[in-house]
Structure 1
């Protein structure tokens, strides 16, 4: 049996994973506990942004064998649907230099040569989803020029506000991590409206993929 912590930024995203199942406990992150395929699963609503994501991962992830993120994201090019997050990078971590923002792996010294900035997820267990690199930061990207910069500078294909922080926290805890995100918008001027219009549907698409992931986790 494995202990699996599933984090989601918003209640709509958390409720979309094993909907209606489990027991909600008191606590800052409204953790919902259930048993699935012999695994002890906790689903928690961490809140928006990197600090909330890292805080919940740190507080709840100590007893977990696997940290998982479910929810929604903006697209930097790919079409709608759910994506296996193979790599995560924090696009707002680095060094401000004259005429340049150099990105480093979050938590490492932002001085000197900048190496690879991403965190790698656990191996894909065979969910048959397209793979993506997600760029996470404490800003909602609703600008086509900014989105193009993330593609150009980081090779990112998706953007959100949490996965990179969960990945960093998992590394510090010595835990494997995984994430599935489903697209709500195209990170442009229409993103605010598109996000709200597509949130519930996309959250359930991601949630269904996370349920398949849990079924494939070995003890």
Structure 2
């Protein structure tokens, strides 16, 4: 992706799989190897992106249409890639991003029923051939993941979706992993945190 050995790693999964905690752990593992790591997230990652994130997670009196969601995501993503991700990789830093393109295919495509060809064309226009080197999927059964989020926070617009919505997303992620084992690494996130961290540490050794 750049002149150095820097890698772009994305972390995917439905709500409640423990992405934030495990991304932090992943960064620590890489830093122990002497690597410089940038942690970022989508939607977000830039001041503009964070504002877009607030809009996407908020509930308005009018319904937020899937098309609106998709266009907002790509507006934020383009800024994020050009202003944060590519410059960091060019400087030899590893980038770990909480969600990226796969989340759009999973949530807006599989979950909301948007045409995958539309997402393909937005990708082509905004990103060209730019893709992650590795994508770690934190996987847990929907009922386990949703039980976790209901315990500890006020739910945002996405977290309030029905279990069936998350089931479609989970299956999509698993299908991606089955079709492209070179890029995707599935971690069993239903296990106790120590065991999840152990799985991640093993994966990091191989990357």
Q: Which has the higher contact order (CA 8 A, sep 6+)?
A: 2
Higher helix share: 2
Tell me if TM exceeds 0.5.
no
Structure 2 length normalisation: TM-score?
0.36
1 or 2, which has the higher strand percentage?
1
